[in-house]
Amino acid sequence: MDLLRFSRVPLARLPTPIEPLPRLSTHLGGPQLYVKRDDCTGLGLGGNKLRKLEFLLGEARVQGADTVLTVGAMQSNHARQTAAACARLGLDCELILRRGGHATEAYLHGGNVLLDRLFGARLHVLATQESREDFMAARAEMLRGEGRTPYCIPVGGSCGLGNLGYVACAGEILAQAADKKMKFEAVVVATGSGGTQGGLVAGMQLLDGAPVIGIAVEGDRREQEALATRQAVESLRLLGRADIDLSGQVNVMDDFVGPGYARPTDAMREALGLGARFEGLVLDPVYTGKAFAGFLSLARSGRFDKKQSLLFVHTGGTPGLFGYPESV
């Protein structure tokens, strides 16, 4: 797995720790639960997207970019981390955000949005029906006409290049497990734009590692599995391993989406409460809260015995908690 040939800028504090969740494991009476703390990657209050941005902004630097554009929801964690990374690297940053159906003061001005502005990003807030991708393409063309050199990042930083951050993370997880002489029966992660799960799947396949289970935060199982598969294939192709067969290797649970993206559920609220009260673990209502609900469901399912271990990848998103206070 040769990642050294790709340009990369150091942004994240790595490796992130793997921590046991002993009180929660005892409370549930099932397998031994662990968490991979990718909420602790550091820059801009951390999160999973910094791993992707190391590769994406590495390419942006090689191309001589002076302005970075990306898209996301109004309370996008990816947008916030992109803004922080651009501030660190001295790049202009423009965020194309979709307002969505929320209208609270916290959603429109708090949480990640407050940080976006603090990091110096320029925000373009679109109505729900407008295409963020079309706006980004047009804005990039306008900047080129002004003599600028823009670099566009897709939603979530999810693309073959960005996903390499989680190909590398798969190796990091396996090395940490080997160091502790332990084995994870499954690695569980939130999946939305599919890149984090796709990168983990690609990495685990390359290294003969653990199964990866995605917990969907939007869409249904079939479309999310197809999306994560495409993301994994893109990364494997970049690594010269398009020959790897992913049949049956990309698994998604869609039981915890509820009424839709960023819409609260009782299972999400329970997951936030259990993580906080038993382990002091802070989750968010959009991604990790719903994913942790799926993780708890797997722990309770009887599929794994008490001696087996499960790993939850905490992808961050804590600032988003303050954008949706009514959801908790």
Cα 133 versus chain centre, distance: 19
> How many residues appear in the chain?
328
Token representation of residue 51: 């791993």
Q: Which candidate, 35, 14, 51, 39, places its Cα nearest to that of 313?
A: 35
Contact 285, 324 (CB under 8 A): yes
Q: What is the 3-state secondary structure (H, E, C) of the chain?
A: CCCCCCCCCCCECCCCCEEECHHHHHHHCCCEEEEEEHHHCEHHHCCCHHHHHHHHHHHHHHCCCCEEEEEEECCCHHHHHHHHHHHHHCCEEEEEEECCCCCCHHHHHCHHHHHHHHCCCEEEEECCCCCHHHHHHHHHHHHHHCCCCEEEECHHHCCCCCCHHHHHHHHHHHHHHHHCCCCCCEEEEEECCCHHHHHHHHHHHHCCCCCEEEEECCCCHHHHHHHHHHHHHHHHHHCCCCCCCCCCCCEEECCCCCCCCCCCCHHHHHHHHHHHHHHCCCCCCCCHHHHHHHHHHHHHCCCCCCCCEEEEEECCCHHHHHHCHHHC
Q: Among the options 7, 25, 76, 235, which is catalytic? A: 76
To the query of whether residue 25 is one of the catalytic residues in this protein, the response is no
State the catalytic residues. Answer: 76
